Structure 1
Amino acid sequence: MSDETPDIPQPPPGGNSPLLPPDSGRDRPLFAVAAILVFLACLAALGARGAWTSSERWMSDLEGSLTVQVRPVDGRSAEDDARLAAELIQDLPGIASATPRDRAASEALLEPWFGTSGLPADLPVPLLIDVQLAEPELVDTAAIASALDNAGIMADVDDHGRWASAVARASQLARLLALGLLALILGAAAAVIAFAARASLAARQDVADALHIVGATDGYIAGLFERRFFSLGLKAGLAGAGFAALIAILVAVGGSNADALYFLPELIFAPFEIAALLAAPLIAGLVAALSARLAVEEELRKRW
């Protein structure tokens, strides 16, 4: 039985070479996959934040206003009733403003269903009053309905309560989906790095064997892979986060069309978003380093 030992790679003359030098042939596909995962993770994080801020804005809009619908009555002018109703509402506690809308505003709201050709002039169309609340806790919708009824005005008061609960559920679901997607992407990234680290260990098994023979611990060998994959994850994180920032800028610029993007999460550049994009490369490097270290240590325990 021969006592052959693996050949330990020798550094080139005039300098020291790393024990695990970068391998562009193997690292290039892994770099691309890692950058894509970081890009998706950044978009998921920005989307979660956007869903949060959008839902807060929607809830604030709903809770800070209510709508009164004035129904036309034979023998009375709907426009006059709307103006009178706005004046009565304006004098009630907690009301900041009450603005009556004309028939054109009501027809504009009905346009998606009836088209742009307009409604017959003799068709009775309810008129709306936009009520902004100064102190929502002081507003009594029953008192508003009673005041209008006493004035002989046929009206319905909508405090947006039914809409608020639906928006709250939808926003909560959007947040959970975005956070779940973020966790899924992080898990996928860790799995990809662990697989790549095992493949890298198999390709450099001669180096690992030689280091083990000369007394290197498993922790030392795993540390070599940890540093290598930290560098790769950091570079991939910079590329992925940079591309995500570019996409976010394009969406933010295109988001000026509020009618088209009102129900989409806002991608804005507030301090939180900037910090998240700046932290993404470091987080990617740490995830890659930890995944590689754990995978290599597990493989080394099995071998020795």
Structure 2
Amino acid sequence: MNDFDVARWRPAPFLPEADARDGSLTFVVAVLCFLACLTLLGLLAANRAADNWTDQLHGQATVIVRPKANETPDGAAARAAETLAGVAGVAEARALEKEKAEALIAPWLGDADLSDLPVPRLVAVQLDRTAPAGAQALDRALKAQGIDAVVDDHSAWMGDIQKAAQTTRWAGLAIFGLIAIAAASVVAFATRAGLAARREVVEVLHLSGAEDRFIARLFQLRFARMAAVAGLFGAAAAAIMGAGLRIAGGGEGLTPVLPIAWSDLLFVLPAPLAAAAVAAVAARFTAQALIRDFS
């Protein structure tokens, strides 16, 4: 009697459900997704920090006041603050005390004794957010009152911050692209190895009338599922690390230089889909090219 049960028979899949290389491949893709998500979080935090610094500098100006021979430094600073307070586009002008001016200069001079140095007085100007006064308007108002002063509207600092932010963005995008290329290369290598191991099966399928697209689609779906799972693990690990940095740093993220927000963690959600898409494209093109070579 034949023990073969036709009702329970199922055809064996062309690609086995499990492969000895799947664990290593999943780990590598998960690590790449983790690095890509961390790069994305770093880019978001860097952009936020640059915007915050630029916004703070945009609403402020600093005036360095040099007293004349017939007036004291404090008197010259007070007169400059009074003059600037009346300029349109200025919300507040306040003369800084000598101690505060020396505290600002001290980091640049080290342990030098500032008591004998002619430390200039500073006037902190808070500009109107809606219609801020420009450096030329402030300078004209000071010269009209005969005050010897230099106006710093922080434009040089803002330009440097914007350049640094732009450089960071391009560097982050380059790293992100390299990681995507690395993931595609790994999947392409795995696809090539899988097809090479099943070359005889591919030839039999060809003789049976199977089209190249059908065979390539099998590899495409397999590696897309694998990459989606790996992307899920990588994105989850990056989100956990980002949340840890956010909690460790309080309201400003890890440090004021890297202010991570809770909303940034939402940007890692598409990582599994992106990983699956990259793997599917890489597997399909690699499989089609190799199948044509087999033919």
- Counterpart of 2:268 in structure 1 is 277
- Counterpart of 1:193 in structure 2 is 187
- Alignment deviations for residues 37-69 of structure 1 (CA, whole Å, 9 cap, x no partner): 111111222223333333322332222221111
Q: How many Å apart are 1:17 and its aligned residue? A: 4.9
The correspondence for 1:240, drawn from 227, 234, 238, is 234
- Counterpart of 2:3 in structure 1 is none
Q: What secondary structure does 1:25 align onto?
A: coil
Amino acid at match of 2:268: L
The correspondence for 1:129, drawn from 123, 130, 148, is 123
Measured at CA, do residues 110 and 156 of structure 1 come closer, stay the same or move farther in structure 2, by a change above 3 Å? Answer: same
The correspondence for 1:31, drawn from 23, 26, 51, is 26
CA contact (8 A) 1:37 1:240 kept: yes
- Alignment deviations for residues 169-188 of structure 1 (CA, whole Å, 9 cap, x no partner): 22211111111111121111
The correspondence for 1:296, drawn from 281, 287, 294, is 287
CA contact (8 A) 1:107 1:118 kept: no
CA distance in 1, matches of 2:44, 2:114: 46
- Counterpart of 1:7 in structure 2 is none
CA contact (8 A) 2:87 2:141 kept: no
Q: How do 1:246-285 residues align onto structure 2 when only pairs under 5 Å count?
A: 246-256=240-250, 261-262=255-256, 264-270=257-263, 273-285=264-276
Q: What secondary structure does 2:88 align onto?
A: coil
Amino acid at match of 2:288: E
Measured at CA, do residues 84 and 155 of structure 1 come closer, stay the same or move farther in structure 2, by a change above 3 Å? Answer: same
CA contact (8 A) 2:203 2:294 kept: no
Aligned pair count reads 290
Structure 2: which 5+ runs fail to align? 1-5
Q: What secondary structure does 1:43 align onto?
A: helix
- Counterpart of 1:228 in structure 2 is 222
CA distance in 2, matches of 1:289, 1:253: 36
CA distance in 1, matches of 2:241, 2:266: 16
CA distance in 2, matches of 1:142, 1:97: 17
CA distance in 2, matches of 1:36, 1:138: 48
CA distance in 1, matches of 2:261, 2:81: 37
Q: How many Å apart are 1:291 and its aligned residue? A: 0.8
Q: How many Å apart are 1:138 and its aligned residue? A: 5.5
What percent identity do the matched residue pairs reach?
Answer: 38
Matched, 1:215 2:209: yes
CA distance in 2, matches of 1:128, 1:18: 79
- Alignment deviations for residues 8-47 of structure 1 (CA, whole Å, 9 cap, x no partner): xxx9x66565431243421111111111111111122222
Q: How do 1:142-157 residues align onto structure 2 when only pairs under 5 Å count?
A: 142-157=136-151
TM-score when normalising by structure 2: 0.86
- Counterpart of 2:55 in structure 1 is 60
Q: How many Å apart are 1:197 and its aligned residue? A: 0.6
CA contact (8 A) 1:63 1:136 kept: no
- Counterpart of 2:153 in structure 1 is 159
CA contact (8 A) 2:224 2:279 kept: yes
CA contact (8 A) 2:89 2:127 kept: yes
CA contact (8 A) 2:49 2:259 kept: yes
- What's the Cα RMSD here? 2.8
- Counterpart of 1:5 in structure 2 is none
Measured at CA, do residues 256 and 124 of structure 1 come closer, stay the same or move farther in structure 2, by a change above 3 Å? Answer: farther
Q: How many Å apart are 1:89 and its aligned residue? A: 1.0
CA distance in 2, matches of 1:54, 1:283: 27
CA distance in 2, matches of 1:253, 1:127: 40
Amino acid at match of 1:279: P
CA contact (8 A) 2:227 2:272 kept: yes
- Counterpart of 1:6 in structure 2 is none
Measured at CA, do residues 303 and 284 of structure 1 come closer, stay the same or move farther in structure 2, by a change above 3 Å? Answer: same
CA contact (8 A) 1:255 1:261 kept: yes
Amino acid at match of 2:218: L
CA distance in 2, matches of 1:135, 1:54: 19
Q: Quick check: 27-36 or 165-174, which moved more?
A: 165-174
Matched, 1:50 2:35: no
